[in-house]
Structure 1
């Protein structure tokens, strides 16, 4: 069993966000990627322990730190198990699936609810029923993938020193001979479980993978799954070894007793981007959904990640980096905020370091990144308060396949911030906001010279953009009435927070790139109305062929005569179901809720915090709409939205 000693106060909470440069290491390179790796255990230990000590002294920032609508598998595809068309997860890139809390293969629906995975025989609707439940003690499932007769579940668990091969804290040597009694380390683990579901009613566990750290995200390309893990070292006071700091890993076959933890990689297999970035570890792990015997791929570098974008051939991990602050009283002269992007090549089910690049500013989310024709495009905001500027600005940078600067469009919409962005081939569409909603149409056909083609300014903003077709975009965000409490705001071109009103759906026509227009809009509810789509794109269901658009909404409504600057009272939570066409715009077909009465809303007033009946996902199979909450799977007729069946979760 590995043993480590107490190191005093730890600042691991900062390590994932803010990267600390460590010491230099010997220049030894990986023969495949060409990335420098640690030359010795001493080099790795020195870099990481110095970074930890530096962080505790106040060095929380780094000078060079790492820091058409698509439905997967295919919207409207016919399944071999049934002839009905069905929807998939709303994803960013065609062919690159994203794990989610619900998946369907056109006959079965797989749902994560609480600590249980439910397998539902969902089609046809009249025979729908829950046929299996997977519940594992100490394991919390988060999301999943389905590929044929295989189910992969991503979740979390904890491990302690009681587990074989896992470290136990020993008393540190202190003056006076006083020491703290030994106690086990408790550390978060990313746990991945692969099941054989050929018999849907009797899933069989094939493999379990445990990696010390926190789960960031995952992607599936074909049968290959890639998942990203951030890990934070367990520091020791007295001579830690590399094995003490490197993330622990174990793999278990079937239902066998878990084996010993081992370091996920040797010191000379861990890469770094000079100078050594040594506050945490970033692991890109990979496995096959169809070949349970294939070795799990593990690429480990010193660093961490915040946002991930993946194409069919590459995976990009973005991390914000900050200027260094080395001590109390120091005046920081360079406080530039940057985003460092590390590119990994995806081939043969393995991820290999390819290149790294750096741009000014920070990014909003995964949709701020894109790859097209060998170029990487990224949209950023440089915050004025961070960079001692008079105002914030927005930018689009283009990098080549080696992540070298190729082109830039800078200083867009001074004073505003990016609220949404979507790259579509040779164009980008970017929404910024402060007073009104400027939708920028940006030409990227010449990577060296991006340029603005046109813009539209309308009240409100979109915080999510969904392609409708090559010349139309759907915007989802909020309506804004700039006149509300206008006298209370003293910043030019800004609005008071009470000006933000109900949820707004927009359809933009960008066929005339110089003059984009909002052809249709729909406003839901009053001030306080929200949808999770802006923060969670997988909550949106849109199928252009049928015109079906479904999104979860929590609706607040003002009382008659109540001023618009006040918060409305909550009256509804559920799915708004629309038919969207270029001819008629947004036509509300109806609403679906999992709340059996309105009592919860009457009691909540202006303070509704959701609950297990809150709808967060929707999908369709054939002519049936399936909505998902933590409490149940509900089936409604797509034609008239009549309830066909309710399948409660949590019942044996």
Structure 2
């Protein structure tokens, strides 16, 4: 058991990664990864303690689970079809890349639905709806499930747990003697643990645990390609006022097969197996772990580098981790003019169920989310915003960069829409579609057919903006965002031609036609509610259900409405939360079929006024199996007829 003496310490906040030149790393090339590694334990410790002394304190009282501040999470597909579990058509998670599944709180195989609700995983026999029932559930003390995957008769669950001093393999922190013989007892150390569990669910009523994997750190995201799962973990080490050892800093892990007794946590890698990009950025560890769903006895793959991640993009062959890098003003000679944000992208090759470091690149600006990244024909494309204010004026600019397979610059389109910021972006083959916002919503159509010379083909300026763009087909896009009335409270003080936030109105759905790339048009739009209305689908693409063949579009909406005569610059009162069900066609646009809610008139929601902050009945997901639409909240799974929207079955989540 590791023992560390510690004094009472203060926690300093720092956003970004520190560059530590000349830290004496004594680099050793790792032939497996192509990255230099630390030549000794002392070199690793020196790199991290120098980083801590220069302003980044890491995490004194917890280890692993604290993420430092950052910039805040037809290629898309609904990952679902008929399979062995069901011959009935069904929907899947709305993913960014076809063939790359994304972990989520709900999955279906066409017969069963698997749900994360609270601290329990529910397994429901969902189809046929009339006989639907909860057939199994999993609740583990101290374990909080977050997301899951389904692969045939196996289920992978990602969650969080914690370890404290005294747990097997975790350091015990002892009181430190100070002047006068007085001992100061520190706060108990607690570490965040990413816990991944693989189950055999052939008997849905009695899931069998096949394997557990625990890694110190915080869970970022996961992807599934075939029967291999890749997940990303950020780990932030403990610092003390006495010199730590490499084992104290390196994140620990363990693998446990079945219900065997858990082994002690041990370092996930040796000091000479941890890669870094010179000059070393010694603030945290980034682990790309891989696990076989088919073979529970196969040891997990572990690639560990010095660094961290905020957003992840994955194709079927590569995984990219992006991290915003900010300047460190404690550096001697740094001035305000050096305040240039940049994004560091680390590329990993996915092969044989393992992730290996491939290359790294760097571009100016920060990214919005995973949809700001894309891979196409061997090139990596990324859209960024460089934020800035000068004399109370927004000087932000937007860019698209193209990098080659080695993550070297291949082309760039810079200074797009000065004074505006990216609100949404979608790459589709040889084109990119980018939404920026200031006064109206410019939708830019960008040509990427020549990687060395990206160019703007056309743009559309309309009131409002899109936060999310969903491909409809090769020449049409769905936009989900907000309506804007530019006549309300124009904000000419901070930025010329900008609008004040009170001009932002209800949820806006739009269908764009980009057949004529020089003149994109908004062919249909639908506005839901008044100021204060929101849709989770604008920020979380997994909340959107869209099926082009049937014309089905479903999204969760929280609706606020103004009272008669109430000014439009005021927020309305909440009157509805639930799923809006639309039929969407190129000929008819958005046709509302109906609404589904898990609240009724007796719920406190109806009395919340302007102060609804979510609740157990808030619908967050929807899916279909055959002719049945299922909606999910934390309180229940509900089945409705897809044609009439009549309620067929309600399955409350009741923990046993």
Cα distance between partner residues in 1 of 2:308 and 2:75: 30
Report the equivalent of 1:344. Answer: 348
Structure 1 residues 204, 386: CA separation in 2 closer, same or farther (over 3 Å shift)? farther
Post-superposition offset of 1:248: 1.1
Cα distance between partner residues in 2 of 1:83 and 1:148: 14
Report the equivalent of 2:604. Answer: 600
Report the equivalent of 2:370. Answer: 366
Cα distance between partner residues in 2 of 1:564 and 1:495: 14
Cα distance between partner residues in 2 of 1:503 and 1:208: 42
Q: What secondary structure sits across from 1:553 in the alignment?
A: strand
Structure 1 unaligned residues grouped into runs of 5+: 63-67
Cα distance between partner residues in 1 of 2:391 and 2:631: 45
Structure 1 residues 385, 172: CA separation in 2 closer, same or farther (over 3 Å shift)? farther
2:46 is the counterpart of 1:46: yes
Cα distance between partner residues in 1 of 2:429 and 2:334: 46
Report the equivalent of 1:543. Answer: 547
Kept after mapping to 1: 8 A contact 2:178/2:184: no
Cα distance between partner residues in 2 of 1:487 and 1:349: 53
Q: What secondary structure sits across from 1:80 in the alignment?
A: coil
2:379 is the counterpart of 1:381: no
Report the equivalent of 1:103. Answer: 107
Cα distance between partner residues in 1 of 2:655 and 2:46: 53
2:116 is the counterpart of 1:112: yes
Report the equivalent of 2:63. Answer: none
2:616 is the counterpart of 1:612: yes
Cα distance between partner residues in 1 of 2:183 and 2:334: 35
2:452 is the counterpart of 1:448: yes
Cα distance between partner residues in 1 of 2:426 and 2:491: 34
Report the equivalent of 1:37. Answer: 37
Structure 1 residues 488, 376: CA separation in 2 closer, same or farther (over 3 Å shift)? closer
**What do the CA deviations read for 1:222-257 (whole angstroms, capped 9, x no partner)?**
001000000011113223110011001111111222
Report the equivalent of 1:458. Answer: 462
Q: What secondary structure sits across from 1:244 in the alignment?
A: helix
Post-superposition offset of 1:181: 3.5
Report the equivalent of 1:354. Answer: 358
Cα distance between partner residues in 1 of 2:564 and 2:541: 34
Structure 1 residues 171, 387: CA separation in 2 closer, same or farther (over 3 Å shift)? farther
2:256 is the counterpart of 1:252: yes
Post-superposition offset of 1:614: 0.1
Kept after mapping to 1: 8 A contact 2:13/2:56: no
Cα distance between partner residues in 2 of 1:96 and 1:259: 33
Cα distance between partner residues in 1 of 2:417 and 2:129: 50
2:630 is the counterpart of 1:626: yes
Q: What secondary structure sits across from 2:43 in the alignment?
A: helix
2:277 is the counterpart of 1:273: yes
When normalised by structure 2's length, the TM-score is: 0.95
Cα distance between partner residues in 2 of 1:480 and 1:183: 50
**What do the CA deviations read for 1:373-408 (whole angstroms, capped 9, x no partner)?**
000000000001399996110000000000000000
Q: What secondary structure sits across from 1:84 in the alignment?
A: coil
Structure 1 residues 57, 595: CA separation in 2 closer, same or farther (over 3 Å shift)? closer
Report the equivalent of 2:79. Answer: 73
2:566 is the counterpart of 1:562: yes
Cα distance between partner residues in 2 of 1:244 and 1:403: 33
The size of the alignment, in residue pairs, is 640
Structure 1 residues 339, 386: CA separation in 2 closer, same or farther (over 3 Å shift)? farther
Q: What secondary structure sits across from 1:42 in the alignment?
A: helix
Structure 2 unaligned residues grouped into runs of 5+: 59-67, 69-73
**What do the CA deviations read for 1:85-139 (whole angstroms, capped 9, x no partner)?**
0000000000000000000000000000000000000011111000001000000
Kept after mapping to 1: 8 A contact 2:492/2:498: no
Cα distance between partner residues in 2 of 1:575 and 1:13: 40
Which of 316, 319, 343 does residue 315 from structure 1 map onto?
319
Cα distance between partner residues in 2 of 1:387 and 1:360: 22
Cα distance between partner residues in 1 of 2:126 and 2:76: 23
Report the equivalent of 2:482. Answer: 478
Cα distance between partner residues in 2 of 1:387 and 1:621: 56
Report the equivalent of 1:193. Answer: 197
Report the equivalent of 2:159. Answer: 155
**What do the CA deviations read for 1:132-161 (whole angstroms, capped 9, x no partner)?**
010000000000000001100000000012
Cα distance between partner residues in 2 of 1:20 and 1:575: 45
Structure 1 residues 306, 503: CA separation in 2 closer, same or farther (over 3 Å shift)? same
Which of 411, 421, 433 does residue 425 from structure 2 map onto?
421
Post-superposition offset of 1:487: 6.8
2:210 is the counterpart of 1:212: no
Q: What secondary structure sits across from 1:482 in the alignment?
A: coil
Over the aligned positions, Cα root-mean-square deviation in angstroms equals: 1.9
Q: What secondary structure sits across from 1:86 in the alignment?
A: coil
Cα distance between partner residues in 2 of 1:485 and 1:262: 59
**What do the CA deviations read for 1:505-564 (whole angstroms, capped 9, x no partner)?**
000000000000000000000111000112111000000010000000000011111111
Structure 1 residues 188, 30: CA separation in 2 closer, same or farther (over 3 Å shift)? same
Cα distance between partner residues in 2 of 1:387 and 1:466: 37
Post-superposition offset of 1:83: 1.9
Q: What secondary structure sits across from 1:250 in the alignment?
A: strand
Post-superposition offset of 1:70: 3.3
Post-superposition offset of 1:333: 4.4
Cα distance between partner residues in 1 of 2:211 and 2:47: 35
Report the equivalent of 1:27. Answer: 27
Kept after mapping to 1: 8 A contact 2:13/2:57: no
Structure 1 residues 110, 519: CA separation in 2 closer, same or farther (over 3 Å shift)? same
**What do the CA deviations read for 1:466-508 (whole angstroms, capped 9, x no partner)?**
0000000000000000001227755212001111000000000
When normalised by structure 1's length, the TM-score is: 0.95
Kept after mapping to 1: 8 A contact 2:491/2:498: no
